[in-house]
Amino acid sequence: MPTTETALASAEAHSAHNYHPLPVVVASADGAWMTDVEGRRYLDMLAGYSALNFGHGNRRLIDAAKAQLERVTLTSRAFHHDRFADFCAGLADLCGMEMVLPMNTGAEAVETAVKTARKWGYRVKGVPDGMAKIIVAAGNFHGRTTTIVSFSTDSEARADFGPYTPGFEIVPYGDLTALGEAMTENTVAVLMEPIQGEAGVLVPPPGYLAGVREMTRERNVLFIADEIQSGLGRTGRTFACEHEGVVPDMYVLGKALGGGVVPVSAVVSSAAVLGVFRAGEHGSTFGGNPLACAVALEVIAMLRTGEFQQRATELGDHLHHELGLLAGGGPVTAVRGRGLWAGVDIAPALGTGREISEKLMDRGVLVKDTHGSTIRIAPPLVITKEDLDWGLDQLRGVLRG
Ligand SMILES: *Cc1c(COP(=O)(O)O)cnc(C)c1O
């Protein structure tokens, strides 16, 4: 087994520097805890950006994966397999929708949503060929493909990756007037995160999502909710849209759908929308494979009980209460979020988000900074209240200096 030092040096030399990870080398993990190659333990307060909502090594998910590994792992979509129909029907039902188009990563699902909206625009709405427009929000994060970074407002994500894909319009997040003004008869979709994760866990103003819903319905425009990070229990509901009583035309799902075991993503919508696809028009070799479906079926069954959503609500209330005590003139300048998910702005005098994250690491807590002096807290939903309190103690310790 490598030591921390040799692993870091080798990664520095042989892996592209497209990430700046904290200098911890994880060797194993269980529940909300990770252990590094030196045997040190860390509380995971990031949960793989919500890909690990059900914790590391979740017994039900590992057992489902192991059982499927012994039967069949890949068929390609050239053939049916015996987990596929159950997965699609189960996920559609969980979402209150009719049809599923499975992919692997989040970015692929967003690409699929973009292609679906455009095809729907031409075939159903009657938009003139090549004229379809999709409206997105400033500060968005929808993935890393060339088309998706084309409508990012983050210069790091975009710079030197042009030429950019046309057909997107960017409006300020939370501004209904701007959205109304940006819509034309060629608008086919509004694509948004109901809570912006990478932007720092930004919750839009009350009524915004409901307003987007109303406006898109009136103008025959699809409302596509990217719930890849916000969905599947994180905010205390199955979908963050539910907090405003909003049902979009399409959910884009990923991250936790694969249970932290395999990449599984999907677009979920009505038959009227996903029905636009004909054979050969879109696909993926690995999308909807037996192993992915077996794990995701278990994820769906776990979400059906509501227990994870309830945990996220209860622990989230506690988390936000405790963080609120640090805010307001203290070391924390703002706290945002919903459920077991928080963006915490640290007073710049106390250090950058990166520096705070490194200090927390030294105390055995792993989080991730975003945008300067914000840290993001999103532990697995299986974390115990005692562990959460211990993690918050470490945060208070770091902020005291
Ligand atoms: C992570 C994320 C994506 C991209 O998912 P990948 O699996 O990394 O491609 C897209 N949208 C949102 C909201 C995300 O958080």
Percentage with pLDDT > 90 across the chain:
97
142 lines ligand 1 (CB under 6 A): yes
Residue count of the chain, please give it.
401
Alpha helices for 205-332 (secondary structure H): 208-218, 271-274, 290-304, 307-326
pLDDT of the residue at 328 = 76
pLDDT of the residue at 244 = 97
CB atoms under 10 Å from CB of 163, counted, come to 7
Q: CA 48 to CA 254: how far, in whole Å?
A: 12
The residue whose CA is least distant from atom 10 of ligand 1 is 142
Residue 1: band (very low, low, confident or very high) from pLDDT cuts 50, 70, 90: confident
Extents of the domains making up the chain: 4-57+307-400, 71-304
Catalytic residue among 84, 141, 168, 277: 141
Is 84 an active-site residue? no
308 lines ligand 1 (CB under 6 A): no
pLDDT tens for residues 84-125? 999 999 999 999 999 999 999 999 999 999 999 999 999 999
pLDDT tens for residues 227-237? 999 999 999 99
Atom of ligand 1 nearest to the CA of 263: 7
Structure tokens given for 241: 């849209």
Whether omega before 348 lies within 30 degrees of 0, making that bond cis, reads no
What backbone torsions phi and psi does residue 349 show, to the nearest 5 degrees? -60, -25
Atom of ligand 1 nearest to the CA of 226: 13
CATH topology of domain 4-57+307-400: Aspartate Aminotransferase, domain 1 (3.90.1150)
Q: Whole-prediction pTM value?
A: 0.98
Atom of ligand 1 nearest to the CA of 110: 10
Catalytic residue among 119, 168, 223, 226: 226
Q: Which amino acid is at 28?
A: S
For domain 71-304, give the CATH number.
3.40.640.10
DSSP 264: -
pLDDT tens for residues 22-37? 999 999 999 999 999 9
Mean pLDDT of the chain: 97
Is 66 an active-site residue? no
The three state secondary structure string of 283-316 is CCCCCCCHHHHHHHHHHHHHHHCCHHHHHHHHHH
Is 129 an active-site residue? no
Residue with tokens 């205390």: 236
174 lines ligand 1 (CB under 6 A): no
